[in-house]
A and B are shown apart, each in its own frame.
Chain A
């Protein structure tokens, strides 16, 4: 099985004038409940590209997005957005920076007490002084971009999972941000919704000149639209490169992950004592408490 063939309709990413990455992460270290989540991670998110961050479950991919958004503070390391240090930004500055980031949560996270229209209009009403007429135009445009303009009066509880995510996407681009963070966008989607979402992510990235960061463990989809992939495991970057590069790489991690092998650097067996010894030791038929 080779790498998934990229469709020829995928346009070549233009060379950006500014080749400086939008987000640079250096030596990121983060611990939670005593467990090390990140141990010296280095990442670059290049402008105008779709960057995927993948890895086995539990590697803290969502945590990474939270760190980038400033919701969490790392123990050590630096995260720079447009050259500005997120880890040291004050609340006010952080809120300013967040207006330039959009985030798509795993379940959409729409505000349940308002309908689709109000949800998309929310960032506009909160952060701009635009008159309602103008907001209406913008909201309709965003909804049109995700194909849900006709659903604008529905309540979030009336939407399917896929539709909710699309509305959330419309909301995320409401303020025309520079970057969008996608938290596991493909998880639990049927093939059609998946296809829709995949197409949307790529199209929006091109047409709006966005930078997209995708966190996922869905190789096929993520690899098909990403320009660059980082593979995280054990709190470190174990492999990186374009989809093709990774498929050809020597890294055992990459091979196991991309091919879906059950055993490899991520072991099948949870650490346990010697099998034969374990079987022979039990004489009473009951496991004594450790």
Chain B
């Protein structure tokens, strides 16, 4: 019994310890951001690897999600004779929730895990140490550009997700199921508010981008420098980012869309 408590206690302290380390790392990253201004190339390179290379999965997923929304939405609405509102259902679901959240989850799986693995591997092969000994701060040179790239890319990816999703819903609803084209767009335009919905969705994806990239970069930097350690760190990135995004989504939704 006592052992169990001891274990729990140690685990608990461990959590705080990691959180503390992660926060310190974040402060280090933020304080070094200004050094990136004269070297945009570093950030651009990372936006490519984090954003551009995620485009395929985001576009494909967005299209499918939009199409499914069109299908399911139609099936439910048609019972109420309200299938003209399909556009609203698809657009609001995407812009408010699915766009930011699903994009963040996909990001964690594709880009987040890649970041963690890359940084962890650099740690294991002593590249980070070598940078330090060459008087180059690895946090500023390696971590900061990746952090900024993730933060910038996330809202763009989420917007692309929502946009192709709406088009996917259009394809299924109007193209295949016969919903009136005019009704699809006009009802949507009527009910989707720029500030309440689109703007809030962007805020969400910025918050998710912050959290997802922070976790990915921290886990890589904190990984045990062995192959097993890197693999565990990558798993942790995906799991923790997913949990954090979903939890944060609840909090943000309550704040933004609650009364």
Give the complex CA separation of A241 and B136 in angstroms.
36
Contact call A105/B130, Cβ cutoff below 8 A? yes
Q: Which residues of B contact A122 (CB under 8 A)?
A: 134, 136
B127 at the interface (CB under 8 A from A): yes
B27 at the interface (CB under 8 A from A): no
Question: Which of A95, A98, A112, A123 is the one whose CB lies under 8 Å from B125?
Answer: A112
B135 at the interface (CB under 8 A from A): yes
Q: Which residues of B contact A110 (CB under 8 A)?
A: 127, 130
A109 at the interface (CB under 8 A from B): yes
A101 at the interface (CB under 8 A from B): yes
CB distance from B119 to the nearest CB of A (A): 12
CB distance from A103 to the nearest CB of B (A): 4
Q: Which residues of A contact B130 (CB under 8 A)?
A: 103, 105, 109-111, 168
Interface of A is mostly: mixed
Contact call B125/A109, Cβ cutoff below 8 A? yes
Give the complex CA separation of A98 and B137 in angstroms.
11
B-contacting residues, A55-105, CB 8 Å: 66, 69, 71, 95-96, 98-99, 101-103, 105
Contact call A126/B136, Cβ cutoff below 8 A? yes
B-contacting residues, A120-160, CB 8 Å: 122-123, 126-127
B133 at the interface (CB under 8 A from A): yes
A203 at the interface (CB under 8 A from B): no
Question: Which of A71, A112, A123, A127 is the one whose CB lies under 8 Å from B129?
Answer: A71
Instruction: Determine the interface band of chain A, counting residues with CB < 8 A from chain B.
Output: 20 to 34
Q: Which residues of A contact B127 (CB under 8 A)?
A: 109-112
Contact call B133/A103, Cβ cutoff below 8 A? yes
User: Quick one: closest B residue to A65, CB to CB?
Assistant: B133
User: Quick one: closest A residue to B130, CB to CB?
Assistant: A109
B132 at the interface (CB under 8 A from A): yes
Total contacting residues, chain B, CB less than 8 A: 13
Q: Which residues of A contact B131 (CB under 8 A)?
A: 111
A106 at the interface (CB under 8 A from B): yes
B196 at the interface (CB under 8 A from A): no
B126 at the interface (CB under 8 A from A): yes
Contact call B134/A126, Cβ cutoff below 8 A? yes
User: Quick one: closest A residue to B137, CB to CB?
Assistant: A95
CB distance from B255 to the nearest CB of A (A): 38
Contact call B125/A99, Cβ cutoff below 8 A? no
Report 20 cross-chain contacts, Cβ distance below 8 Å, ordered by A residue: A95-B137, A98-B134, A98-B135, A99-B135, A103-B133, A105-B129, A106-B126, A109-B126, A109-B127, A109-B129, A110-B130, A111-B127, A111-B131, A112-B125, A122-B134, A122-B136, A123-B134, A123-B135, A123-B136, A126-B136
Known contacts A69-B132, A96-B135, A123-B134; can you find 7 more A-B pairs with CB under 8 A?
Answer: A71-B132, A71-B133, A103-B133, A105-B130, A111-B131, A112-B127, A122-B136
Residues of B within 8 A of A (CB): 122, 125-127, 129-137
- 3 A-B pairs closest in CB distance: A109-B130, A98-B135, A109-B126
